[in-house]
Amino acid sequence: MSLLVVPGSAVLTVQHLKSQFVPPETWLEAVGELGFAYLIFTTRPWPQGAEPGDVETLAAFTSDEDAMASAAHVVLPARSLRG
């Protein structure tokens, strides 16, 4: 599993699956400062129409104790391209 972060986007690779996404700027800044991302893999779907960086939606999503207890939690170092 790896996470590549470049200006404006990120790529999560899990075995043979690659997912490129455009996270909110605040997420990119936080990962840039921390050097890692905290990922939660759950079977509970993210609320339809909710923005990934919305703090209220995130708080409601992660307050479901059953969903969080059955989820996989991963702290993943963020790589970047070196120029």
Average pLDDT over residues 62-68: 88
- In the chain, % helix, strand, coil (3-state, to 5) comes to 30, 35, 35
DSSP result, 19-47: EEE---HHHHHHHHHHSEEEEEE-SSPPP
pLDDT digits (tens, 9 = 90+) for 27-61: 899 999 999 999 988 888 888 888 766 788 888 88
* Position 83 pLDDT exceeds 60: no
Q: Is the pTM of this model over 0.75?
A: no
Q: What is the pLDDT of residue 71?
A: 93
**Distance between CA atoms of residues 15 and 68, nearest Å:** 23
Contact 44, 67 (CB under 8 A): yes
